[in-house]
Structure formats: C-alpha cells, structure tokens
Amino acid sequence: MAEPSRFHGQRPPRPQKKFFHRRKFCRFCTDSTIKSDYKNPMTLRDFVTERGKIMPRRITGNCAIHQRELTLAIKRARTIALLPFVVSEG
Ligand SMILES: [Zn+2]
C-alpha cells in the first residue's frame, strides 16, 4: 500500500506542547532529607510513571547529577524487585 505523500516538501503542523512549563527545582537539591536511594522505593515511586517508567528530567525538574543518581537507584530497585519494570494494564 503506497502512502500518499501529502506532506511532501513541508512538515505537518506541529501540535502545541502539552506540558505547561513550570519552573521546578530539583527536589534532591532543595530538600536534603530525601535521597535517591534504591532502598527507599517510596521516594523513587514519585519519579516513575504509573506504568513504571522513569520520568524524564524535563518533567521532574531534577538536576543532571540527581537525575543520574535517581536513574541508577531506580534501576537498582528494579533488579531487586522493589520497583516494577513494567506495570501491565488491567
Ligand atoms: Zn539536584
């Protein structure tokens, strides 16, 4: 089946960004009491979606250092089954 090249030579109109931009600060920088610790899945859960995916930095507002630590902690927590890899629907 040949796809008609409707957008030949020009891009389709881009949809507006759904995420409204809110200035957020890194929660780990502002609050020193919370740590990205793989033994603390309750904190990590705030940074994964309900499907079990790690939220990107542009949503969480974390700084690069802490996002990296957090990603590591989530991956560790997954391997020892404190967090799910995928949350199946239904
Ligand atoms: Zn930070």
Residues with a beta carbon under 5 angstroms from ion ligand 1: 26, 28-29, 63, 66
- At the fourth CATH level, the homologous superfamily of domain 27-79 is Ribosomal protein S18 (4.10.640.10)
Q: Where are the domains of the chain?
A: 27-79
pTM of the model: 0.69
What separation in angstroms does the CA of 20 have from each of 17, 23, 59? 7, 10, 10
Q: What is the 3-class SS of 34-87, one letter each residue?
A: CCCCCCCHHHHHCCECCCCCECCHHHHCCCHHHHHHHHHHHHHHHHCCCCCCCC
Q: What angle do CA 45, 48, 51 make, to 5 degrees?
A: 110
pLDDT digits (tens, 9 = 90+) for 31-83: 888 888 999 999 999 999 999 899 999 999 999 999 999 999 999 999 998 88
For residues 15-39, give the mean pLDDT: 77
Distance 48 CA to ligand 1 centre (A): 17
